[in-house]
């Protein structure tokens, strides 16, 4: 039995599809199953059971999973809105819930593989998995940072596999529901469908127009790494998960323009409200991931955007509702 939280979301639903592809179907899918928009992501996945978020948390707190043999827990569920400023909401969804899963993992000796975030590095420029490089600059990042610290303590005291994966900028199919938090590739694609131009921010933090840089990683690579850790249970720790190479927003824009075979870029003023909480540069140092044995290549932005936009345009045909 495998548990996937955030099962109906972007990464969770892709992860379940990845599990299905390699033969796993005994999956407990945990999410808000009343959300019809999210349900479209999982409707064609093969699972054993649905559990609502609150129902699953209640079962955990009542020790209802004691004695149940779980192969792995993939914890992908969280509030992923970097602009969320409700501290109580973030504490419940991103810390308290994660803590309950960590306790279950240790008590039952069940591997826990969870989604951390590159946001913990804040405005820093050294992306190495060490506390001196971590400086979260918004509440979302702080919630991820605090749980990582709890995990570091647990790793020092327990032999159970616990893996935190610090996702950098993930893009790919099934993120439509994320609204403003969806990837830049998704937003630029939608802009260009109805217009002859797409918008990027003007220069900031010493970067020229559209030259702010992020480590963009395709969701298929995220799934591959999660599954690799599931099959390598002797490995624990907190790891960066990006391609190891940053790309400018202009690079993403050009890939979208090339796919559409039309378009140009217009640069707009950088929003004042983002200036204190925006990462202008990220690039994962993946030395630690390579050192423990992950050898697969990562999809670059040009190829990834092509794959993604092909999928987006075939979505209604390949995924009938």
Q: Active-site residue numbers?
A: 140, 178
DSSP letter for each residue of 213-256: EE-EEEHHHHHHHHHHHHT-TT--EEEEES-S--EEHHHHHHHH
CA-only gyration radius of the chain, Å: 19
Distance CA 146, CA 164 (A): 12
How deeply is 62 buried, as exposed, middle or buried, from its count of CB atoms within 10 A (0-12, 13-18, 19+)? Answer: exposed
Distance CA 170, CA 118 (A): 11
Exposure b/e, 165-195, CB count within 10 A at least 16 = b: bbbbbbbbbbbbbeeebbbbbbbbbebbeee
* CB-based contacts of 25, cutoff 8 Å, min separation 6: 19, 46, 47, 48
Closest by CA position to 163, among listed 80, 76, 59: 76
Host H or E run for residue 70? none
Quick count: other Cβ atoms within 10 Å of Cβ 282? 21
Closest by CA position to 309, among listed 170, 169, 172: 172
């Amino acid at each position: 039995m495998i548990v996937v939280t955030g099962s109906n979301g972007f990464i969770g639903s892709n992860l379940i599809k990845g599990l299905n592809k390699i033969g796993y179907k005994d999956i407990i899918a945990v999410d808000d199953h009343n959300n019809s928009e999210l349900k479209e992501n999982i409707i064609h996945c093969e699972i054993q059971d649905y559990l609502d978020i609150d129902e699953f948390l209640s079962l955990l707190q009542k020790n209802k999973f004691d004695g149940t043999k779980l192969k792995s827990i993939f914890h992908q569920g969280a509030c992923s809105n970097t602009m969320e400023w409700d501290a109580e909401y973030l504490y419940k969804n991103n810390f308290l819930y994660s803590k309950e899963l960590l306790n279950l993992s240790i008590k039952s000796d069940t591997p826990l593989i969870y989604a951390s975030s590159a946001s913990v590095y804040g405005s820093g420029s050294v992306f190495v998995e060490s506390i001196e490089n971590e400086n979260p600059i918004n509440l979302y990042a702080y919630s991820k940072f605090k749980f990582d610290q709890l995990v570091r303590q647990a790793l020092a005291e327990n032999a159970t596999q616990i893996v935190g994966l610090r996702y950098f900028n993930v893009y790919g199919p099934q993120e439509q529901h994320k609204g403003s938090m969806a990837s830049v590739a998704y937003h630029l694609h939608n802009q260009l469908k109805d217009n002859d131009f797409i918008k990027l921010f003007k220069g900031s933090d010493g970067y020229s127009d559209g030259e702010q840089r992020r480590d963009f990683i395709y969701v298929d690579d995220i799934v591959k790494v999660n599954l690799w850790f599931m099959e390598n249970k002797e490995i624990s720790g907190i790891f960066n998960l990006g391609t190891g190479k940053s790309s400018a927003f202009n690079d993403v824009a050009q890939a979208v323009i090339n796919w559409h075979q039309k378009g140009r870029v217009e640069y707009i003023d950088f929003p004042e409200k983002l200036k204190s909480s925006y990462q202008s540069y990220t690039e994962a140092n993946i030395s630690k991931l390579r050192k423990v044995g992950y050898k697969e290549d990562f999809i670059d932005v040009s190829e990834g955007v092509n794959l993604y936009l092909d999928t987006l345009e075939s979505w209604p045909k390949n995924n009938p509702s």
